[in-house]
Amino acid sequence: MEQQRSKKAKSLRAAGKKSVNNEIAVLEKQVRELLGDQVRVMKGLAPAYVPDRVYKCVRRYIGGSTFSAPMTLLEGHGQFAVATSATTAVSWVDCWKINRIRVYARNDEGGHAIQVNVVPIGIDTGSNNFNTLPKHYDVESQSTSVAMILEIIPGKNSPLGSWHRTNTVNSSGGVLLISTSANGGGTLDANTLFEIEYGFQPNVSGGLTTYTSSGFSGLTIGALYTSPLCGGLLQPLDVNVL
């Protein structure tokens, strides 16, 4: 009994000493953070820097038939358009980027499987220094009731995930290529959703950006509009559409 009590006492003293040592280590770390310099040497690229506040929004799109077409920079600019007349819209943001892409693929109403392929195609046409490596992402639906979800989160230092100024530079250039197909006799319908989360910086300088889109009719001056993607083959949902 005496030996057991002695062992138990030693165990309690050891546990107490360990607890005290842990508390001292935590306090020492806090003191170093408050009073000492924290220095790290690392490798990597400097991430994109935007000094003003950055916002985000989500847009959803549906297609009416299978297709293969690129989303262009001009269409990206058009996600943030405001009407300045009944026929013309300009961008109300200085720059934008893609934070995340999601494809919710379901069989069409006839039960046919849908295949979706997404390929980043961004190219720096000015200096040939910032191009997308060859890659592609695929998803295929498996039922009408439950979607197969493809999620793409672009690297911040990749062309697909980088910032784009709302100007006329390479405005016809592609950001990504979307291709869809369906098993025998099927077609792309509202069962399959395309969703993009954008980051953007509003135009706070007061001057208009150089992006302008015209040739419309019946726009409401001051109203916000969103452009379709892929040459009109993907239509935005629940927003004013150019």
The CATH number assigned to the domain holding 147 equals: 2.60.120.220
Which residues contact residue 200 at a Cβ distance below 8 angstroms, ignoring those fewer than 6 apart?
A: 54, 55, 56, 57, 80, 93, 95, 96, 97
Q: Which two tokens stand for residue 76?
A: 């990206």
The three-state secondary structure class of 35 is helix
Which element (helix H / strand E) includes 75? helix 73-77
Are 175 and 198 in contact, with CB atoms under 8 Å apart?
no
120 and 231 assigned to the same domain: yes
Claim to verify: residue 32 and residue 59 sit in the same structural domain: no
Q: What is the DSSP letter of 162?
A: S
If asked whether residues 30 and 64 sit together in one domain, one would say no
3-state DSSP assignment of residue 113: coil
Give the pLDDT of residue 169. 83
What is the per-residue pLDDT for 61? Answer: 96
Residues 106 and 190 in one domain: yes
Query: How far apart are alpha carbons 235 and 242 in whole angstroms?
Result: 10
In this structure, the answer to whether residues 24 and 122 fall within a common structural domain is: no
Token reading at 215: 């040739």
Domain that holds residue 11: 1-43
* 77 phi and psi angles, rounded to 5 deg: -60, -40
Instruction: Supply the pLDDT for residue 180.
Output: 93
Q: Domain for residue 175, yes or no?
A: yes
* Per-10-residue mean pLDDT, the chain, length 242: 55 61 78 68 72 87 92 93 91 92 92 93 75 85 90 86 86 90 88 94 73 86 93 93 90
Q: Is residue 242 part of a domain?
A: no
Examine the domain organization and report whether 157 and 115 are in the same domain. yes
The answer to whether residue 241 is domain-embedded is: no
Residues 108, 21: one domain?
A: no
Let me know if residue 48 belongs to a domain. Answer: no
1 and 61 inside one domain: no
Residues 135 and 218 placed together within one structural domain of the fold: yes
What pTM did the predictor assign?
0.76
Domain count, the chain: 2
The reported pLDDT for the residue numbered 207 is: 62
Judgement on whether residues 108 and 80 belong to the same structural domain of the protein:
yes
Residues 199, 150, 201: CA angle, nearest 5 degrees:
5
pLDDT of residue 78: 93
**Within this chain, do residues 69 and 148 fall inside the same structural domain, yes or no?**
yes
Same domain assignment for residues 19 and 103: no
